[in-house]
Amino acid sequence: MSSTVSIIGTSVLALLLAGYMAQKYGLPAPPPKIVGVDLGTTFSSIGVYHAVSGDTQIIADGLGKRSIPSVVGFLANGSVLIGHRAVEQQEKNPLRTIYDAKRFIGKTFSEDDPQFIADKERYPFTIKLFENGSAYFEIPLSNSIKTVTPEQVGGIIIAYLKSAVEKEKKTPISQVVISVPAEFDEVQRNATAKAASHAVMEVRRIISEPTAAALAYGLHKKKGVEYIVVVDLGGGTLDVSVLWLQGGVFVTQAMAGNNRLGGQDFNDRVQHHLTNHIEEKYGKKVDDKEDLQQLRLAVEEAKIRLTTFPKAVISLNLKDLDSFNYVLTRDEFESINAELFDQITEPIAAALEDAHIGTQDVDEIVLVGGSTRMPRVRKLVGSYFNRTPNYGIDPELAVVTGASVQAGVIGGGWPLQVAAMELPSKQRKRHIYADKHIPSGGCSI
Ligand SMILES: *[C@@H]1O[C@H](CO)[C@@H](O)[C@H](O)[C@H]1NC(C)=O
Ligand SMILES: *[C@@H]1O[C@H](CO)[C@@H](O)[C@H](O)[C@H]1NC(C)=O
Ligand SMILES: *[C@@H]1O[C@H](CO)[C@@H](O)[C@H](O)[C@H]1NC(C)=O
């Protein structure tokens, strides 16, 4: 017993000493040993925890990006492109560019499952099933057919992230804390661990994404926090979790979601509004592929601008039409999307109901996912709970930040933190589907 204590004592002392030396003499901090990874459906990222300063650092790839598209492209000669480079060639190489692999990880399907049939039609690449029902992707190369599993795709992405850290920190990294959606069952969690093992990394812990988001804001160290609601509005889905925090242990009490409500839906409505406007005012139907692509990008840009400015100018240069500008105000954006904004509170109410608590019982609210940048979302959630949500951390990096904090805790970072633990959830997720109106004039490829 006493020898254990002294070993711990010595290592703490060593860390304290390292910290002191680093601060006094500007010596380099001890290199990180464990990293945090957010392996997301659309974007992934990796971070480290700095033992001396207590800061987390999210590491950029060679292109300077900290959010890496979870996209892997294979070339006919077998070369592999990852992240933004894979996205750049996606349009020219649809059969060999895999995205959304996480949706298939650790799941089994049957050939006649309508959901699986719909997925097969939805994706340009080929999806097949092993005899046991696990999915895999079939990629035609110039001289052969390559098969890759969703775990292998995940492994390729993790290996890419890992190499970015190794380059930046000039140290080999072999251990990881990885985040998964709260509703992932044990099979899906194991499959995620397998993805990491394909990247030759040992998984020290798997934590759920909402718990990671709460850790990013240091809520595990905050006094008097018992119930936390995490609202995650991403590109295509809304997920709400109720966490219960007791003595440094997080328990997921309830989950609810709408997997047909995300940033893209807001864009679709604005795009529909604009195509109607163009048709009414100029008598032009926008149906050309390049025109639509231009419109789509302009709408996304305007949405981002409206998160900080009250208006955005959409400049279009469509075929058979003089170039023209449309001034979109934030008020107009919000009224075009009023119905979607209204739907945000539905899963929140459902999750609170399942957790048997009311809004007044909630101590902290955390916003994650890029779409929570829309000011209206912040206001809406804030007024629903009658308190200000946590939103200071880049909402796309909150999960990886929390995974990195957890990695720091496990790696014995200094200053010592309250060890955050998580109990596996027995809860089932409640799904709320709203009718998704795909605007007829719009385009949703
Ligand atoms: C495969 O082709 C790409 C571009 O066509 C090239 O950059 C790459 O070096 C090639 N890879 C191999 C292994 O030959
Ligand atoms: C199903 O079989 C494939 C190929 O043999 C294997 O890679 C995969 O791990 C199996 N899945 C399960 C859930 O056992
Ligand atoms: C998941 O992995 C753990 C550890 O390797 C193992 O004990 C457990 O049986 C696995 N669970 C499932 C459902 O495969």
DSSP labels, 395-435: TTTHHHHHHHHHHHHHTT-SS--PPPEEEPP-PPEEE----
Q: Is the dihedral of CA 143, 148, 153, 158 positive or negative?
A: negative
Q: Which of 132, 189, 198 to mutate to test the pocket of ligand 2 (most atoms within 8 A of CB)?
A: 132
The residues carrying an active-site annotation are 38, 102, 209, 232
Q: What is the pTM of this model?
A: 0.87
User: Cα–Cα distance between 60 and 367 in angstroms, integer?
Assistant: 23
Q: Are strands 421-423 and 249-258 parallel, antiparallel or unpaired?
A: parallel
pLDDT of residue 323: 86
> Is the shortest distance between the CB of 77 and ligand 1 below 6 Å?
yes
The answer to whether the CB of 420 falls within 8 A of the CB of 402 is no
- Residue 186 CA: which ligand 3 atom is closest? 13
pLDDT of residue 29: 65
The answer to whether the CB of 105 falls within 8 A of the CB of 91 is no
> Is the shortest distance between the CB of 186 and ligand 3 below 6 Å?
yes
Nearest CA to ligand 2 atom 3: 130
CA of 77 to the centre of ligand 1 (A): 6
pLDDT < 50 regions, the chain: 1-10, 12-13, 414-418, 435-445
CA of 79 to the centre of ligand 1 (A): 6
Q: Specify which residues 368 forms β-bridges with.
A: 232
- Which ligand sits closest to the CA of 197? 3
User: Cα–Cα distance between 318 and 309 in angstroms, integer?
Assistant: 25
The answer to whether the CB of 175 falls within 8 A of the CB of 205 is no
pLDDT of residue 435: 46
pLDDT of residue 21: 53
CB neighbourhood size of 3 (10 A): 7
Q: Which of 79, 80, 93, 143 to mutate to test the pocket of ligand 1 (most atoms within 8 A of CB)?
A: 79
Nearest CA to ligand 3 atom 1: 190
> Is the shortest distance between the CB of 185 and ligand 3 below 6 Å?
no
pLDDT of residue 189: 96
pLDDT of residue 415: 47
The answer to whether the CB of 162 falls within 8 A of the CB of 32 is no
- For residue 162, what are the contacts with CB-CB under 8 A and spacing of at least 6? 35, 46, 173, 176, 199, 201
pLDDT of residue 25: 59
Q: Which of 105, 129, 134, 192 to mutate to test the pocket of ligand 2 (most atoms within 8 A of CB)?
A: 134
- Which ligand sits closest to the CA of 131? 2
User: Cα–Cα distance between 118 and 292 in angstroms, integer?
Assistant: 24
pLDDT of residue 20: 54
